[in-house]
Chains A and B, each alone.
Chain A
Amino acid sequence: MTEIVAFDNVVKRYPGGKLALDRVSLSLARGEMAFLTGHSGAGKSTLMKLIGLIERPTRGRVVINGTDLARVSRRQVPRYRQRVGLIFQNYNLLFDRTVFDNVALPLVIRGQAHRDITRRVRAALDTVGLLSHEKKFPITLSGGEQQRVGIARAVVNRPHLLLADEPTGNLDPELSADIMRLFTRLNETGTSIMIATHDIDLVEAMRYRRIVLDHGHLEQA
């Protein structure tokens, strides 16, 4: 099994009738990094939500790391999500906790021992270059730094798959390039990464596969 993400004829129709994804079949190889692009409303977010089990497909099959998501019951969703690293456009940090506590959250949720938490949070912060900021509160950081905290939080659990939904949407080009370089480095250490973005310039500057969505249809790039 070499695929970490496999979509097979996936249809997603929202209540109210809007067809967000129409018979989409795609795959991401283990250790691969790919961009998911398309105009806004093309179905990028819906695709990400299906992988994060925030939504369920209307028809078709989604298999992540060998797990058919249709078999993941509502009770099992938390355990499943602990194995997927999610990165958001608006960072989704908790502003009443320090950088350290934000990054530690996935480990606390998994009930890791205190010793391990400290070690792994430091390692994750070191990876994103924010080790010296661990005692600060997110509000005192720049947008680029906040997103790096978000990335540290996503990788601290060593997930087999990283999903980033418009991670550079709120950042200027220079900071965006920084973040992309960070993803490249993470990918080089073996993490599979799927990045949804509409920043075409940035994507074209990098040599990675593009998955293009257009009105819910997959375009062969």
Chain B
Amino acid sequence: MPTASGQRDMRTRLADSAAADSAKGWAAAHARCLLESLGRLSRRWIASALTILVIGIALALPSGLFVVVKNMDRLAGQWHQSVQISVYLDNDLAPEAGQQLADDLRDDKRVDKTQFVSAEQGLDEFKKASGFGAALDALGNNPLPGVIQVTPRANLAPAAVGELVAALGQRDTVAKASLDQAWLRRLTAILDLLSRASWVIGLLLSAAVVFIVGNTIRLDIENRRQEIEVMKLLGASDAFIRRPFLYSGLWYGLLGAFVALLVLGVCRLALGGSLATLVSSYDGALAIQGLGASGVLWLILAGLGLGWVGCVITVNRELAAIEPR
């Protein structure tokens, strides 16, 4: 005779195995659905391929722009690091005072290093470099001022560099501080614009992907109207009918992301020759970076997410409109 606790054990075990069965059934149903939706795509593969191609291009455009901006940003950063400010001192300033000022400037936290070039040193260098030695000797006195070469810190923003230049120029013993940075400021502004543009374009094309997937799913539902009616007559819930379409949306997004990666790869190959020339002109200081692992992951997640959203906003509305008559 079974004890009460034995019976309870039996019942729990039965309940457990029933729950395990239903969980297994649920997982199996989803796996089946995932494959079935891929099968649906492949059965009308030309239409599917065109949709996926369009999604791929729509995803590749902002991603490509993102890669370009990222590389240009690094390039601009390297140029920033090579920026130097020339501080021209008053002509009558003694070399010792010049050296002192150079040392003082180094205490400014915006400044990385300073180098004082006295009027004599400047003249010597100029004589060597220019070959006008004899002509300069004829001048009698040295026309060159003392100069301090100030290198700002590498991480200093362009605007802060501008402020530093202005501050240096207003010092008592300084005649003029100059930095030919207008073009760099313009480049930075252009890069900023490009970066914003890639977000705007990305947003617009994301919306496009959502609508492409939505429209494709809408047509798919239209083609399967009779099938959906039959399923509803046989007692299929809305969730059951919706599931394969949602998986189709995910497939479209995922495969579209793969196409986008392919497009980016092809572009890199096509531009490879001229890129190599450009890179070699920088003596290896410049290396082109691709999307990177996290970029690839984000692209795939974006594809999946957009495919899903496009599907969800279409499927509920369309399926509610189909009722057996």
A128 within 8 A of B: no
- Is there an interface contact between B230 and A92, defined as CB atoms closer than 8 Å? yes
- List residues 89-140 of chain A with CB under 8 A from any CB of chain B: 92-94, 96, 105-106, 108-114
A52 within 8 A of B: yes
Q: A54-B325, A94-B230 are in contact. Are A79 and B25 (CB under 8 A)?
A: no
Pick from B24, B25, B28, B235: contact of A78, CB below 8 A: B235
Whole-angstrom CA separation of A82 from B237 in the bound complex: 10
For B238, give the chain A residue with the smallest CB separation.
A78
Pick from B25, B227, B229, B236: contact of A113, CB below 8 A: B25
Pick from A86, A105, A111, A153: contact of B29, CB below 8 A: A111
Chain A residues packing against B (C-beta within 8 Å): 52, 54, 78-84, 86, 92-94, 96, 105-106, 108-114, 153
Whole-angstrom CA separation of A108 from B229 in the bound complex: 16
Pick from A54, A81, A92: contact of B235, CB below 8 A: A81
A113 cross-chain contacts in B, Cβ below 8 A: 21, 24-25, 28
| Extra pairs beyond A106-B235, A109-B234 (13, CB < 8 Å) | A78-B232, A78-B237, A78-B238, A79-B235, A82-B234, A92-B229, A92-B233, A94-B230, A109-B236, A109-B237, A109-B240, A111-B25, A113-B25
B298 within 8 A of A: no
Max chain A Cβ within 10 angstroms of own Cβ: one of B21, B226, B237, B325 = B237
- Is there an interface contact between A54 and B231, defined as CB atoms closer than 8 Å? no
For B28, give the chain A residue with the smallest CB separation.
A114
B26 within 8 A of A: yes
Q: A54-B324, A111-B26 are in contact. Are A82 and B235 (CB under 8 A)?
A: yes
A78 cross-chain contacts in B, Cβ below 8 A: 232, 235-238, 240
Contact mask B6-46 → A, CB, 8 Å, 1/0? Answer: 00000000000000011011101100000000000001000
22 interchain pairs, CB-CB under 8 A? A54-B325, A78-B232, A79-B235, A81-B233, A81-B234, A81-B235, A82-B235, A86-B234, A92-B229, A92-B230, A92-B233, A93-B230, A96-B43, A106-B235, A109-B234, A109-B235, A110-B235, A111-B22, A111-B26, A113-B21, A113-B28, A153-B234
B235 cross-chain contacts in A, Cβ below 8 A: 78-84, 106, 109-110
Closest 3 CB pairs of A and B: A82-B235, A81-B235, A78-B237
A93 cross-chain contacts in B, Cβ below 8 A: 230
Max chain A Cβ within 10 angstroms of own Cβ: one of B28, B230, B238 = B230
Pick from B21, B227, B325: contact of A94, CB below 8 A: B227
- List residues 224-274 of chain B with CB under 8 A from any CB of chain A: 226-227, 229-238, 240
Whole-angstrom CA separation of A79 from B230 in the bound complex: 15
For A76, give the chain B residue with the smallest CB separation.
B237
Whole-angstrom CA separation of A52 from B323 in the bound complex: 12
B234 cross-chain contacts in A, Cβ below 8 A: 81-82, 86, 105-106, 109, 153
Least distance between B278 CB and chain A CB atoms (Å) = 54
B231 cross-chain contacts in A, Cβ below 8 A: 105, 109
Contact mask B46-84 → A, CB, 8 Å, 1/0? Answer: 000000000000000000000000000000000000000
- Is there an interface contact between B232 and A86, defined as CB atoms closer than 8 Å? no
Whole-angstrom CA separation of A23 from B117 in the bound complex: 112
B232 cross-chain contacts in A, Cβ below 8 A: 78, 81
Least distance between B234 CB and chain A CB atoms (Å) = 5
Whole-angstrom CA separation of A109 from B323 in the bound complex: 17
Whole-angstrom CA separation of A137 from B189 in the bound complex: 65
Whole-angstrom CA separation of A114 from B230 in the bound complex: 22
A114 cross-chain contacts in B, Cβ below 8 A: 28
Least distance between A79 CB and chain B CB atoms (Å) = 7
- Is there an interface contact between A112 and B233, defined as CB atoms closer than 8 Å? no
- Is there an interface contact between A52 and B240, defined as CB atoms closer than 8 Å? no
A112 cross-chain contacts in B, Cβ below 8 A: 25
B26 cross-chain contacts in A, Cβ below 8 A: 111
Whole-angstrom CA separation of A82 from B236 in the bound complex: 8
For B29, give the chain A residue with the smallest CB separation.
A111
Whole-angstrom CA separation of A113 from B236 in the bound complex: 16
For A80, give the chain B residue with the smallest CB separation.
B235
Least distance between A218 CB and chain B CB atoms (Å) = 24
- Is there an interface contact between A52 and B236, defined as CB atoms closer than 8 Å? no
Least distance between B240 CB and chain A CB atoms (Å) = 6
B230 cross-chain contacts in A, Cβ below 8 A: 92-94
